[in-house]
Structure 1
């Protein structure tokens, strides 16, 4: 995970990346009040927290270069619904039947940590996942919402053509729909869309799906996402 180009850096309102961890370290020297985000993260991190997360990843996650199948059982959670424990080979076979991992979390019994599929390098490699096929990228913005429970706002952490990753989301329920207005210095328009909750974490993070996003807003999002496309 650390050596892959999965990290983005935020400085003075601008997002750049993806970089590997060595490139991030080089850029940190000249960046003003930098923050870092990577696929599988639910929050932007300052450099100290980012370096600590790298150490934790090395200590708890299966190595992408491990020659043998990880031992023990794995659990899968989709939109908050947990599947029965399975062996690693069964996990990979099951995940290969899915087309979208945005609402999928996995957990190895050996760690007890729930993580996005993208946050486990061995799984990413065995699935053959590429950024181009699942283009979720970081963004800085605010989502102002109007729903059955009234008005609320939350911070937007990531975006794709299909939806958003948000933080500070409280009391949301999977399947809930509401109208949202996304403003961001990274986009040239305000995106107005109907959003549906597809995932809710225990840390205030939630995944939203756009419902019937107008082409005007979709093209703006695609243009932004494509800035980070890698070959």
Structure 2
């Protein structure tokens, strides 16, 4: 499959419950992203490492619209010290993370100063950034580039409607995006329907000219 297009899939929002058995049963190329300061953040991180998965920190960031916020949410009101210490503390909860991606964050990822502070921490720790793209106005990739932090962006959300037909449609979109551009990144959640669709669809990818890869296999550019 030398010429196969590459597809990376990240499952977000882990940490509040143990890793679902249906997720553990998926290929190790499926990456996971863990919310910090949750009951199962460390144990999930350790299990994923044993399963040889890429692990990300799913860092809570301030949204534009009112929503319940995680305790560790980075906000525009924080000064540099508070924001960076909050991020460093969260990374200690998921010590084998290779990257972070934003949980919510439609407000913070538009803020150049705040995202610059985030990139400083990632640079010092040798991590990369995956922009979940919760807003088209995100400046995260630009700030990463300015500070020489490797960065990638999400192309498709698999399951903002949690039903089988929609998840299948979104996965097909991700496949088409990969074929068009050479690779694509899809983000989903540990919903039973999402994991069920993936369990049935992933074995068919090779026949569609798609190689399922770990996120780190995409070699994030500077």
Give the TM-score, by structure 2 length.
0.30
Where is the strand percentage greater, Structure 1 or Structure 2? Answer: 1
Where is the helix percentage greater, Structure 1 or Structure 2? Answer: 2
Q: Whose RCO is larger (CA < 8 A, sep 6+)?
A: 2
Greater Rg by CA: 1
